[in-house]
Structure 1
Amino acid sequence: MAKYETLIFILEGSLLNEKVAELNALSQTLKLAGREFGQAQRIQYNSVQEKIKLLGFDERIKLTLQEFFKNDWISAKGTFDNQLQKQDQLNKDVLPFLDEVKNKVNLILLTKEKKDVASSRMQSTELLNYFSAVYFKDDLTSKLPDKKVLTTILHQQNLSPATCLVIGTNLVDEIQGAENANLDSLWLAPKKVKMPISPHPTLHLNKLSDLLFYLELS
């Protein structure tokens, strides 16, 4: 088994429950606009997500808002972003896993959101206690899947590419970004979802706790 000395987590999805966060943020944005978010809107939302699930983070949010707000989506995005800042629900196995690996592997956090948004979402969690370095969107000159995002982190943290594992849930942004930087990756996704041909993650697991099998922890 590969010995991974550094785990690079993408905050949105692998740690924070992004599906719940985005749904809640949209629901609140509609309600603040005086509009209903009932069963019909939920069905509409699920239909849209099925069509855009392979898109990157920014494009997915844009198209979701365009579906519900049409030409007024840009102003709606400001409200959506404010509501997203309030979404701090962690995936259920995150803290037990981090407790298990803390001080045994190097943990680095990468977020796709600006510092004010991501920091707000983490404020009531214990996440920042676990990571030796945190990179926000503001800290980088490019965004995933550009390989410069991850190669910059490797260079600044003096990491060996051979012992790093990128952990994410989005194929287009995160897994492709790892592949572009020639890094191993873990795609967290339901087992029923087929492993893609490209980009091709090194590992495909549906629970973060399953990664313990691939780590050589003393």
Structure 2
Amino acid sequence: MDDLPSFVTCPPTVRAVDFGHVLVLIDYRTGSVQALQPPAAERWKAVSRTGALDRIAPALARRLLTLGLLTPASGPGPWTPALTASSAQASWGSTEHPAGITRPPRGPLAETLTAAAALATAFGVTRHSRTGMLHALALLSVARATTVRAATLQEATSAVNAVRRAGWYSPGRTACLEESVAAVLLLRTRRLGVRWCHGIASDPIRLHAWVQTMDGDDVAEPSSTRAYTPVLTIGDRHHQSR
């Protein structure tokens, strides 16, 4: 391991989520996701307690360093432990997830046009595969800092539905990331704030972005969203009017 550093740390943009049977590393700088099976996951957790790279196999160490999921450190030191998440329970086919496309409800044309502009902005910042997530997070942080009061559930739902109407006519693919970012931006035009969430679920491993009210209510989301463990959130639940 002469070519490897003696000590490493986990970059602040990387979040680790432990499902027990798999540990998932999400890099919010690049948007990359890496899953570690139990033997590798245990080594990762051992390294996280001291920062000493000799607790991990050289091949795995090189891969994690190359991917930017670990970075060299000047000395020993622990980093934030993995977030513990619940694995999905076996349903034996009795639990289904929603599929298909549902046409969004009708709404004011002016609101839909404003939502289209917000969605175009979201497309612009997320279109780069390696830096899109990082740019989206920066934009969300700016929007959060300039809100006046928390949106009500009705106001937030209206904004999400407006974005979905705009996305219905969009020639490009509108995924949850673009949709949730656009909803935050649309509410920002009214100086209203919501809580943006990015989470993960297992079996299979899947990611999802959505918005909540500041009181923690999921906005215009199916019940299946409760299967996701929030990993990163932007927005204060206890935001007070200024």
Structure ID, larger Rg: 2
Higher relative contact order at CA 8 Å, sep ≥6: structure 1 or structure 2? 1
Identify, as 1 or 2, the structure richer in strand: 2
The alignment's TM-score, normalised by the length of structure 2, stands at 0.24
The alignment's TM-score, normalised by the length of structure 1, stands at 0.25
